[in-house]
Structures are given as C-alpha cells and as structure tokens.
Structure 1
C-alpha cells in the first residue's frame, strides 16, 4: 500500500525540483525527505527517481505516480471534508491567505460576518503574494486563499488548486494621461517577482515602451501618496483607488484584475469553505458599492 504522506513528498519534488526545496517547504530535513522517498520507491517496487550527484529527476514511473497522486490526495481531502461535515457546525482553525489589498479592503468585514454567524471557526490570516499560494495550499499551511490575476499575466495557481471567481475590477493610471502617453514619466512599480510588477511591465510593453522605474513599492496606499507627491505614475486596482489622495487624478485603462478564492482540490466540500465564501461575497459587495471609480 502506498503511503499518501510519501506521495505528497513526491508531488512536491515534481514541482520544486530539489529535495532541499521540498524539505524547506514542508519543514522536514533533507535527509528525512530522501529517506521517505526511498521508502516510497520500495513500496512501489520501481525506481521513481534518478540521482546524479545533487540532481534528482523523476523517472517515467515517478511521473506516472505523481499524476495518480493528485487524484489520491484530492480524494483524501474530500474524505476529510465529509468527516468535518458530520460535526454540529463549522469549527476549528481556518487558515486564510490574502494579498494586501484584499486583506485590508475585504477581509475585516468578512471575518466580522463570519464570527457572528459561525463563532466556532477560528480564522487565521497570513499575508501572501498570489505567486506563493499554490505551494502554501499544497503544504497545508493555508486552507483557502485570495489570489488575483491580471491581463498580460498567466494564471498564478497550478492544477492542484481549484478557484472560484470573486471580483473583477478595472485598473487605473494615476494621471489624466492615457497609458501610451506615460512613456516619459517615471514609474512606481511593485517588487520584482510579484504579479503586480509583471503586469505593469507587460502593460507598458504592450503600449509600446519600457517603463522608467523610479520606485519599487508593494503597498498601494504608499504608491498613491508617492504619485500625489509627483514621484511617478502607477497602475492601481479599483479597490486600492477608492479614495485617492488629493492631487491624484485617475484614468481607467483597458486592464482588469480578477480576484479568486483558491483552495486545494477536494477542499471545496469542507463545511468551513461555504460560510467563509458567503461572508466574503457580502463584504465584497459592500466594498464595491461603497465607492471608487468606474
């Protein structure tokens, strides 16, 4: 019988590429991961890994087993969700990941609603970039997360994750100019490696220029204050631009940001997900009705 815990390690190795990366993500030692994978090979009766020095790659049998591991782990997730549903009501920890704008604009009211309607749940929020969400969900450090996608940027989650749409919002340029006219302006962009950074670069390239970056700032409130101080232009989503500071004039551009609710495959039937989603949709509706542009 194949051990699901070892299958999880093999799946992570297929995605992360090294035993050291798997160990770091799942808080094991590298030697423990290596031992568990060797034990899995014995259980399978076939070599699953090819080791050349420090490099480890999956054999065809290893890749085949990873494909089945996805289905097995999703089925176990559904089984745990079914067991949880037999309790009297949603209870226990609910580990939530969110990007900064959502954590500020959507989660506080959603958690208030959730606490009033389901006091047995204990929400635990961690701020996280959407690019890191899939790994955190697979590792089990998060149960559910808010992620965003932009035009010009490929989807951020992998096939181990399911998503449900929550919000689509327009983007704004922090000037009265059109995007094509901002080629000579200094730019305020997010930290390299984030989705927001990639979106801005590709949007500018699609408009025919490379942005002249002056500042790297992730917090949109700070971005807007710097724009108001004449330090550059930036692209900001509607949620962040609801109350721009004096001196900032916003122009809607043909770019959208889509916010999604993300969770592990099989977790969709967990009794904690439905009330959290319902509370989140209520808070989102109120946030979008409260003001903003467009």
Structure 2
C-alpha cells in the first residue's frame, strides 16, 4: 500500500518536472524568437542602407558641402555645387563640434551632480525627491527638451539658433542618464576603500579624488560615451533650437554662437527631396552616422575593459 503511494507520487513528480522543463524550453524559444526579430530587422535595415549607399560613400562625400542640384551629374566632379548632390562635410563638422561641447558640459555638470548627491548630500527626503525626479527625467521625450532649449537658451538667454544653444539642449537631454550612471558607479566603490583612505588621514575630497573617482571612472566614462552616442543621433531637440537643414560652410569651434547643421538634419533634408540621387546620398549619410555611433560604443567598451584589467 505504501509502495503504491510512493510510486504514484514519484510518477506525478516526474511528469510535473517534464512539464516544467517543456515550459522552460518553450520560454527560451520564445525569447530567442523575439531576439531574432530585432536582429533580422536590423540586418535588413543595414543591408538596405549599405546597398543604397554603395558607390556614393567616397572621400569627396566626406569633404564637400551639400548641393540641391543634380542635373548633369558627373562622378568626376562630385561635390561641385552645380553638378551633383554634394557631400556631408559641414554637417559632419557641425555634429563633431556639437558633441565636443556637449561632452564638456555633461562631464562637469553630470559628474559634479553625481558626486554631490552620492558623497555630500545628506540622506533626507529632499535628496530622495531630487534623485527620484532625476531618474524620471531620463524618460522624458526628447522633443520636450527641445522646447525647453528653445525657451531657455534661444529666447531667454538670447543665444539664437547657435551651436551653443544646441549643445546646451543636448546636455539637458542626456544629463539625467549621466547623473544616474555616475551615481551607480560611485555607489559600486566599496566603503572599505573609503574607510582605509580616511584611516590614513585623507580628507573627504582627497578620498573622492584619489580613491573613489579612479575606481568609478570605467562606469562613468561608459555612461557618458553611450549617452553622447544617443545625443549625436537626435533630431528633435536641435530642430527645435533652429539647426539648419543644410549649410555650405562648417561652424567654427571658436565661435559657439555660429549657426550650425548636424548630420541628422542633413540626412532628413536629403531624404525628403524627390530626386533619386538624394536618396543615395541620404543612405551614405546614414552609414557615416552609424559608423560614428559604432566607434563611440567601441570606445566605451575599450575604456571599460582597460580599467577592468587594471583592477
């Protein structure tokens, strides 16, 4: 009697185990299928863009200004204002300058705010309220930051539709992400290292500068570079502050009040034009933008791996 009961129980447990394993395999298969949908879509998009850009992505494309003229196009005269669709040089330089200024503002404001909130701010309701709102700001649509930049920088501070206004607007866009990632990096530094530094007589600032920041640099730099790679592809914020769709001369880095264009704006301008040649140069511009994004992500990975090896 007891043996039969034990056997029935064993059979029931075995079937339940097989059922759980089957459900687990089904869940893994569903996750794999969901992953492949995104990968296949990305591959199809890349193949389409590279096919459209094939033969148009040349050195001249990177070093010539754009043009609205496509009559009598001759590849030997590529980029001439009256013989072809031209290149992306002013928008490329504008995007580089824009990201350089954004990186400078973000480095000081984002890391400084994270150090204060994590190391100096008292653990009060006000601090919790500030941190919660910073985390919530990371999910605000980019067009809202564009409207804020238009009202605050372009109109209130009278910077006009300038490189400085675009950089400050993009700084507002990525600042919450940088602050949160920097806080997490600082929080990951063991307290034992801080206590050991205090034990040797170091002040709080000396501990932060010589112990905490060197340990947190991989996470901080990775967060900043990935945030900048998002900012370089944004169109809505710089569109709201008045970035030009096309320019025939690049802005000057020494003159941040100059008007500017950026690669997303130039690509948008090409894509909306009806001539077939402009669709090809738009695809070539997309390839350039994607290449810069991949390079920035690669730099973030290299920095993280370099400091991890040092650890």
Q: Please, what TM-score do these two structures have when normalized by structure 2?
A: 0.25
Q: Please, what TM-score do these two structures have when normalized by structure 1?
A: 0.27
Structure of larger gyration radius: 2
Select the structure that is richer in strand: 1
